Structure 1
Amino acid sequence: MSDVLSQAEVENLLNAIDGGEEPRAAPVAAAPPRPREKVSVYDFKRPERVGKEQMRSLQTMHEGFGRNFGAALSALLRTMVEVKLTSVDQLTFSEFVFSLENPTCFNLITAAPLEGQLILDINPSILFPMIDRLLGGSISSTPPARRPLTEIELRLVSRITNLFLNEMQNAWENVLPLQLSVDRVESNPQLVQIIPANEVIVLVSFELTVGEMRGMMNLCIPFNSIERVSGKLSSNNWVSYAKKPASAESMQRIGSRIAEAAVEVVVELASTRISTADMLDLRVGDIIASEKDVNEPLVVYVEGKPKFLASPGQLKGRKAIQVKGAYQPHDIRVDFQPNTTKPS
């Protein structure tokens, strides 16, 4: 059924015919603009094979690792080191390799029971200042040399990488016990092909700050290495590990380590007060009298705190004490404060 023309459209048509002009179309109201849809670009060469939940778990896990590794590295270098997690991304192995400097410190890591190998790359811009610090130098802003590491430098770098592996094992312990070790160290990353170039990897990037120097440290985790354990990387499972109460085995392990710790033990034989002048006049063979009774028990200090009561004696020709019981504050007045300062 045809549309019915309005009066205005009929008049325009007649006027156009009389004047020899083409008829003008009636103005049409403009259609309202359609809202612009948000389009996400998807590259089929780089499929996101690791889920968002697993990526969040990896980010949370390595944030804690960065804090612990920074503290351990600060103790090793005896200077403040800040380790900050900058990103956790998915990309192809070729993109990762071509983004690195050449030469660099390219560590191939075996991580049993995971399949394949992991990669730890330490940028020379931060690695050489740390080597100088290990050798007793200071952190300077001098640009590092662009050369492969020498044998001596590789031995020093192994102390840093071993520290990294120890902290990484602790970070992954709640998910999967790992046995990490460095297989070999390369200087040219483009000559290493442990997985296909288009294989997806998870790149965990850290920024290290030592003094005024900054540099990147990258951990490359191939997807085929963590594919079997991707279910354990979900945030719910990861958090549930942290909420579990301590087992008897873990308590026994911690207790055995504490039992092996060395402590300072000091025994107070007697206490008295003398003037400074009398102390300066002391000579070899002088006797200092005290008011302590010979039958009064001795106080045994452990790390500067009174813990036990004991009596003096000898054992196999050597001076010894026999512990009689635990120290109680009301048993005896203690005025002696042993010096527990350790020599530097």
Structure 2
Amino acid sequence: MSDVLNQNEIESLLGSLDTGPADPAPAAAPSNPGKSAAKSVAAFSQSQGASGIAELPKPKEKVTPYDFKRPERVGKDQMRALQTMHEGFGRNFGAALSSLLRSIVEVKLTSVDQLTYSEFVFSLENPTCFNLVNAKPLEGQLILDINPSLLYPIIDRLLGGTGEANASTRRPLTEIELLLVGRITGLFLDEMRAAWENVIELELSVERVESNPQLVQIVPPNEVVVLVSFELTLGEVRGMMNLCIPFNTIERIGSKLSANSWITYSKKPPTPETRQNISDQMSGSIVEVVVDLAETRIATKDLIGLRVGDVINTEKDKSTPLVVSVEGRRKFHASPGALKGHKAIQVIEALEERRQAAGDAKEA
């Protein structure tokens, strides 16, 4: 039989399989080589699969863990809007702070995250500059935290120093230092008000300043907050400013915090130069001009029977001016005529001017 493998073919086939140590060779040739070959081929088919190719292991499904203690209540679109909004705020605040301190100050937005209030509080240093901010008409309060390592160089700069004060000082601020820090906080709130004006008009004010953040509880510990972090660089000194926005404060204006709703573009009044420039560019444009000679109604059977030379009667008088439309808009009144052997119209008046005169007469 041509379908039965001989002994040499079977040994060559089994030797090509790399499935572990080979079985010891039989001492004698099998008495029934055809049956032995069929078993070997069956074993080879089972080990390699029906198609002769080894099956690959199925990829495991990717599972993302979800922490119920830290629910993501703020949408991704709202987070992107907050990030874009405060990136512009950081540039403006850096420019204003540089003008106040008469030194180059770089303000960089580092992150916009959502976490629980307890995680935010325990991540702060103690003592620190913990400002409770009222933001009417929003409910609740915001928190502005300024790292002490940044405050003392700024205070030194405000008092006429070089801004190289000891940044490792750890003590609560004095009354005089709080007054000086109020200038920085007030500047921060002014720029924040300008950054949020396209979303909502805020009335921002500092209610009080605390040094121990763990003594202030404006929301429950497990409440979700949005933490906007800025890194300030003043010479060789770097420090962090954190703006904490509780979710319940911005929950009712969540629909306004989207990339398509808060971004606006300022409009400038046109100048004579821009008007002339636009007119020059449009002067060569080709527009469609249509003249309505008359309108009438006829029966369908009359329409089907129309032939060349037939006359259609209309109710329009020959002295009635024709309406000239430009790009589908009624612009002029004209009278029909002929010029150098071509049918033509003569513009009588502009419809816009006529409407304006009618409106003035009505008001009078």
Residue matched to 2:179? 155
**Aligned 8 A contact 1:141 1:213 in 2:** no
Match of 2:79 among 19, 30, 55: 55
1:65-80 equivalent positions in 2, closer than 5 A = 65-80=89-104
1:112 to 136, 140, 160: 136
The answer on 1:132 being equivalent to 2:156 is yes
The within-5 A match list for 1:189-268 is: 189-239=213-263, 242-243=264-265, 245=267
Distance 2:209 2:126 in 1: 13
1:144 paired residue number: 168
What secondary structure does 1:198 align onto? coil
Q: Is the 8 A contact 1:141 1:212 kept in 2?
A: no
TM normalised by structure 2 equals 0.59
- The whole-number CA distance in structure 2 between the counterparts of 1:79 and 1:108 is 28
Indicate the SS of the match to 1:238.
coil
Deviations 1:14-38 (A, max 9, x none): xxxxxxxxxxxx7466530222433
Superposed displacement of residue 113, structure 1 = 0.2
Letter in 2 for 1:198: N
- Given the superposition, is the C-alpha separation of residues 163 and 10 from structure 1 closer, same or farther in structure 2, using an over 3 Å criterion? same
1:244-302 per-residue CA deviation (whole Å, 9 max, x = no partner) reads: 6469xxxxxxxxxxxxxxxxxxxxxxxxxxxxxxxxxxxxxxxxxxxxxxxxxxxxxxx
| Residue segments in structure 1 that go unaligned for 5+ positions in a row | 1-5, 13-25, 248-344
In structure 2, distance between residues paired with 1:119 and 1:238: 23
2: distance between equivalents of 1:106 and 1:68? Answer: 22
**Which letter maps to 2:175?**
E
Distance 2:162 2:36 in 1: 90
Superposed counterparts of 1:1-344, under 5 Å: 27=47, 31-140=55-164, 142-239=166-263, 242-243=264-265, 245=267
Residue 71 of structure 1 deviates from its aligned partner by 0.5
Q: Deviations over 1:189-239 (max 9, x none)?
A: 011000000000000000000000000000000000000001011111112
Q: Secondary structure at the match of 2:262?
A: helix
SS at match of 2:74: coil
The secondary structure found in structure 2 opposite 1:237 is coil
Counterpart code for 2:195: A
**Given the two structures, how large is their TM-score scaled by the length of structure 1?**
0.63
Percentage of matched positions with identical amino acids: 71
AA in 2 matched with 1:146:
R
- How much has 1:141 moved relative to structure 2? 6.5
Q: Is the 8 A contact 1:112 1:178 kept in 2?
A: yes
Is the 8 Å Cα contact of residues 196 and 202 (structure 2) preserved in structure 1? yes
Query: SS at 1:86's partner residue?
Result: strand
Aligned-partner SS, 2:86: helix
When residues 9 and 178 of structure 1 are mapped into structure 2, their CA distance, relative to the original with a 3 A threshold, is farther
Q: What letter is aligned with 2:155?
A: I
Cα distance in 1 between the residues matched to 2:235 and 2:145: 21
What does the per-residue CA deviation read over 1:146-191, in whole Å, with 9 as the maximum and x for residues that have no partner?
A: 0000000000000000000000000001110000000000000011
Letter in structure 1 aligned against 2:222: N
CA contact (8 A) 2:70 2:224 kept: yes
- Given residue 174 of structure 1, which amino acid in structure 2 is its aligned partner? N
**Alpha-carbon distance between aligned partners in 1 of 2:260 and 2:122, rounded to the nearest angstrom:** 35
Task: Report deviation, 1:45.
Answer: 1.1
Count of residues in correspondence between the two structures: 230
Amino acid aligned to 1:158: G
Can you give the 5+ residue segments of structure 2 that lack an aligned partner in the other structure? 1-33, 41-45, 270-364
Corresponding residue for residue 335 of structure 2? none
